[in-house]
Structure 1
Amino acid sequence: MNEERYPALYAPKDGYVFVVTYGRSGSTLTQSLLNAIPGYSIRGENGNLTYFLSRAIHLVAKHDMYTWRREDLAKEPQERRAYLKNILGQPYDPWAGAESVEPEDFRLSLMNLFAEKVLKPETGCRVSGFKEIRLHEDPNFFESHLDYLRDSFPKTRFLFQTRNHDAVSRSSWWANKPKHVVYKQLKQADEMFSEYSRKNPDICFTISYEKYAEGIDYAREIYNFLGEDMSDDAIGATLGQKLRH
C-alpha cells in the first residue's frame, strides 16, 4: 500500500494545502490564517523546490530514452525498435538501466522525501503544505507541475491568491522591473490560476486579497472550502494582527 511505502506523504491524515501566488500578493496573511487552524502546518516559501523535483519526475516519465526502453523491455527482441534491438538490457547501452526506472515510484519517492525533509510536519499535524510565489514563472510547465503535486500528495487542495496588479507592482519586490512587464506577468499568472481552477474545480479556491477587507465573513469562505470551522474571535485576531502589519 502507498501508505506503507511512502509514510511521510500520508502522515497528515487530512491531506495538503498549497497556496499558489506571486510576490507581494498578501499570501503571508493567508499562511497565517491557515496556521491558525488546529492541526495545520503550512510552511512558507521553499524557492520553488517542487518545480525542480517535478522536472526530474517529468523527464523520467516522458523522455524518449526512458519511455522507449520501458515499452520495449516486454517485447521480443525482433519486435523492438531498431535502435534498441541489440543493446536493451546490455551493459554497453548508453542509457543502461533506464528501462528499470519506475516513474510512479520515482515520483512518489521524491515527494515523500520532500514531505519528510522539507515540510517536516510536527506531531499532531493533520494538514501540511506550503505557500509559494514562483510556480507561475515557467508557464509552459505550470499545469504539469501542479498535476504532479495533485497526484503525489494525498487530498491536495490549491488556494490561488490574486491581488490588484497596480498595488502589487508598486511593491519593492517588483520595483526593478518596468510596469508593463510586471502587469503582463501578473495577468498571465492570474489566467493560469483561473484555467487550472476551471479544470479542477473541486480542489481549487481563488482568494482575492482585496476581499480580506470584508473581514471575518470572507475568511470564513476559505475555511468553508477547506471544511474547517473557526470561531469569529480566532479569525478576527489573525486578520487584525496581519492587516495592521
Structure 2
Amino acid sequence: MGVRTASGPSRHVFIVTYGRSGSTLTQSLLNTLPGYQIRGENGNLAWFLARAVDLVRRHEMFADRRRDAALPPEQRDAYLAPLIGQPHDPWAGAENVDPDALRRGLMEVFAREVLRPGADCRVSGFKEIRFHEDPDFFATYLDMLRDSFAGVRFLFQTRDLDAVARSGWWAQQPRDEVIARLRRAEALYADYAAAHPAECFTIRYERYNEGANYVAEILDFLGERMDRPAIEAALARSLSH
C-alpha cells in the first residue's frame, strides 16, 4: 500500500463518527494497546487531499488529455490533437498528472507530517467527526483511504441521537434538524459497512456501559488482545471535554 514502508505501520484504524459520540473514549482505549498511535481530529484534512485527487481523476481537462495522450496522434480528439504536449496548450502538462501517483504522494505526506507514526508504531490512524459532511463523496473518500493505507479498518461510532442532540454545540441547534442530519450520517456508515463487512465495525457508545467485555468485542475485530486493567482504567477516566 502507498504509505507503508519496511519499518512503518502495517495497519491503520480510522474512527468515523460525528461530534459528541464519545469517540475520544474510543481513541483513548485504542491508545492503551501496544504499538497503537491513533491521532485525534485534524479538521478532515485528508478529505481535502482526496478531493484534489478526485479532481485530477475526473476533471475533463485532465482525464481527456490523459486518454488522448495514450492514443496514436491520428486517433486523438480534433481539438486536443494539436495541443497535447505543446507549450501553448492552456492545460500544458495535464496529461502527465497521474491521479494514483498523486494519491500516493499526498497520503504519504499526510502520514508523515500529520499522523507522524513513531518508530514503535505498528497501527496508525486518526478519528474524525466530519467524514459525513460531504455525503456524495463519502464512499469514494473511504475507498481512497483503503487504497492508500495498509491494513485499513474503519470503526463507525454511533450514540443515542437524543443524547447527542442535547450535548455540546448540538444543543444550540434545532433538535429535529440535528437528528435528521445525524441519521443521514449513520445511514452512510451502515451502507459502507454493509459493502465492506470485513473492514468495518460499528461501535455503539451506550454499550461501553458493559465494561471491558464490550471492548473485547472491538479488539477481537481488530485482532488484538486486551489488557483488562489498562482498558478498565481508560473506561473509568473522565473525559475532560
Residues 15, 23 of structure 2: 8 Å contact kept: yes
* Number of residue equivalences: 241
Q: How does 1:50-65 map to 2 (within 5 A)?
A: 50-65=46-61
Q: Say whether residues 1:35 and 2:31 are aligned partners.
A: yes
1:199 Cα shift?
0.5
The answer for the alignment partner of 1:215 in structure 2 is 211
Q: Say whether residues 1:202 and 2:203 are aligned partners.
A: no
What CA deviation, in whole Å up to 9, does each residue of 1:107-163 have, x standing for no partner?
000000000000001120000000000010111111111111111011110000000
The answer for the alignment partner of 1:72 in structure 2 is 68
1:231 Cα shift?
2.5
The answer for the alignment partner of 2:93 in structure 1 is 97
Residues 29, 242 of structure 1: 8 Å contact kept: no
The answer for the alignment partner of 1:11 in structure 2 is 8
The answer for the alignment partner of 2:42 in structure 1 is 46
Q: Say whether residues 1:81 and 2:68 are aligned partners.
A: no
Residues 37, 121 of structure 2: 8 Å contact kept: yes
Question: Which of the numbers 159, 177, 183 marks the counterpart of 2:173?
Answer: 177
Question: Which of the numbers 185, 189, 192 marks the counterpart of 2:188?
Answer: 192
The answer for the alignment partner of 1:123 in structure 2 is 119
- TM-score with structure 1 setting the length: 0.94
Residues 8, 112 of structure 1: 8 Å contact kept: no
1:234 Cα shift?
1.8
Residues 162, 209 of structure 1: 8 Å contact kept: yes
Secondary structure at the aligned position of 1:175 is classed as helix
Residues 9, 111 of structure 1: 8 Å contact kept: no
1:173 Cα shift?
2.1
What CA deviation, in whole Å up to 9, does each residue of 1:40-77 have, x standing for no partner?
00000000001100000101111111111111112122
Secondary structure at the aligned position of 1:18 is classed as strand
- TM-score with structure 2 setting the length: 0.96
The separation in 2 between residues aligned to 1:118 and 1:154, in whole angstroms, is 16
Gaps of 5+ in 1: none
The separation in 1 between residues aligned to 2:79 and 2:151, in whole angstroms, is 42
Secondary structure at the aligned position of 1:151 is classed as helix
The separation in 2 between residues aligned to 1:119 and 1:142, in whole angstroms, is 21
Question: CA separation of 1:61/1:68 partners in 2, compared to 1, >3 Å: closer, same or farther?
Answer: same
User: Which shifted more, 204-213 or 168-177?
Assistant: 168-177
Which contiguous aligned blocks of 4+ residues in structure 1 show a shift greater than 2 angstroms? 6-10, 242-245
The answer for the alignment partner of 2:145 in structure 1 is 149
1:7 Cα shift?
5.3
Which amino acid in structure 2 is aligned with residue 12 of structure 1? Answer: P
Q: What RMSD, in angstroms, separates the aligned Cα atoms of the two structures?
A: 1.7
Gaps of 5+ in 2: none
Residues 10, 154 of structure 1: 8 Å contact kept: no
The separation in 2 between residues aligned to 1:83 and 1:188, in whole angstroms, is 43
Residues 14, 154 of structure 2: 8 Å contact kept: yes
Which amino acid in structure 2 is aligned with residue 29 of structure 1? Answer: L
The separation in 1 between residues aligned to 2:129 and 2:85, in whole angstroms, is 43
